[in-house]
Amino acid sequence: MRSERREGVPRAVHSMAYENAATLGEKCHRMLFEHGTPSRRSPEASPDEELKKEGRPMEHPHIPLEDLQVQVAACRRCPLCDGRTQTVFGVGNPNARVLIVGEAPGKNEDLQGEPFVGAAGKYLNELLAIAGLSREDVYIANVLKCRPPSNRDPRPEEIQACTPFLREQTRTINPEYIVTLGNFSTKFILKTDVGITRLHGTLQRAGRFKVFPIFHPAAALYDSKKREALENDFATLGELLRGEA
Ligand code: URA
């Protein structure tokens, strides 16, 4: 990992810190997506910080999205911060029934500071309409808040560094449904190795959340089979939301 703060940290200490962070992340994940129990925390504490103090998993009152956005904008937890134009926090209805989780910002998102504004975003708007939804009805966020160079896949250490923010967004928005777009968000939320090809269009659970995995819109732009599956799955999502499925 590259960062001024980490320079000079002996390798053993660094890897211990990395392991502790990984364990902490696992515990936080289980608390939110498997068996959350509300308890108290200080509003200034950063995501997962309170947990660190207590040394045990706990859930806490939500952090306002505006405060989280400030934390994200200042984040330097991984080297992706060096290449970003800006962070891409998320956008939409803070009281949404549906949280859509994509992978990571691309070039357009990095420039505009908003998720899904490129070609995949235009297609996402059409897909939302199939479910009877508009962008104003849902909240849209990504697993990563910074653009990976050349739109490469997110790396495990980047996901680990960034996802406390997604967990906090989820806790604050408290959606009924989480729609995971593609493999990265599906595997992260469901903590599974099962791929999107098998899981798409099936209703899953993660703690108090209903999770509905769907192919990533970008994967379907030039693949008519995936496009058909995506459109069917968004139609099913609409039925689920209307209580028809
Ligand atoms: N793809 C994503 O997963 N997220 C975006 O914001 C844009 C493209």
Closest ligand 1 atom, CA of 102? 3
d(CA 71, CA 165): 9
Residue 54 pLDDT grade (very low, low, confident, very high; cuts 50, 70, 90): very low
Nearest CA to ligand 1 atom 8: 116
pLDDT in tens, 117-135: 989 999 999 999 999 999 9
Task: Say which residue, 57 or 110, is predicted with more confidence.
Answer: 110
> How much distance in Å is there from the Cα of 119 to the middle of ligand 1?
10
* 140 CA to centre of ligand 1 in angstroms: 9
Whether pLDDT at 40 is above 70: no
The count of other CB atoms within 10 Å of the CB of residue 136 is 10
- Check residue 86 and report its DSSP letter: S
What separation in Å is there between the alpha carbon of 48 and the centre of ligand 1? 25
Q: What residue segments make up the domains of the chain, in order of their start?
A: 4-241
Q: How far, in Å, are 15, 131, 219 from residue 200 at the CA level?
A: 36, 15, 13
- Token pair for 149: 């160079």
Mean pLDDT, rounded, for 103-120: 96
The answer to whether residue 4 scores a pLDDT higher than 70 is: no
Please tell me the predicted confidence (pLDDT) of residue 98.
Answer: 98
Is there a contact between 171 and 93 (Cβ–Cβ < 8 Å)? no
Task: Encode pLDDT of 179-218 as tens digits.
Answer: 999 999 999 999 999 999 999 999 999 999 999 999 999 9
Do 105 and 88 meet the contact criterion of CB atoms below 8 Å apart?
yes
Is any atom of ligand 1 closer than 6 Å to the C-beta of 142?
A: yes
Ligand 1 pocket check for 144: Cβ under 6 Å: no
CATH architecture for residues 4-241: 3-Layer(aba) Sandwich (3.40)
Sign of CA dihedral 31, 34, 39, 45: positive
As given in the structure block, the two tokens for residue 147 are: 């653009």
pTM: 0.84
Place of tokens 């911060």: 81
- Listed in order, strand segments (DSSP E) in the chain are 91-92, 98-102, 139-142, 177-181, 204-206, 209-214
Strand partners of residue 210: 177, 205
Q: Going by C-beta distance under 8 Å and a sequence separation of 6 or more, which residues neighbour residue 197?
A: none
Mutate to test the pocket of ligand 1, among 91, 101, 116 (most ligand atoms within 8 A of CB): 116
Distance (Å, whole) CA 242 – CA 229:
20
**In the block, residue with structure tokens 């990984």:** 22
Q: Does residue 11 have a pLDDT over 80?
A: no
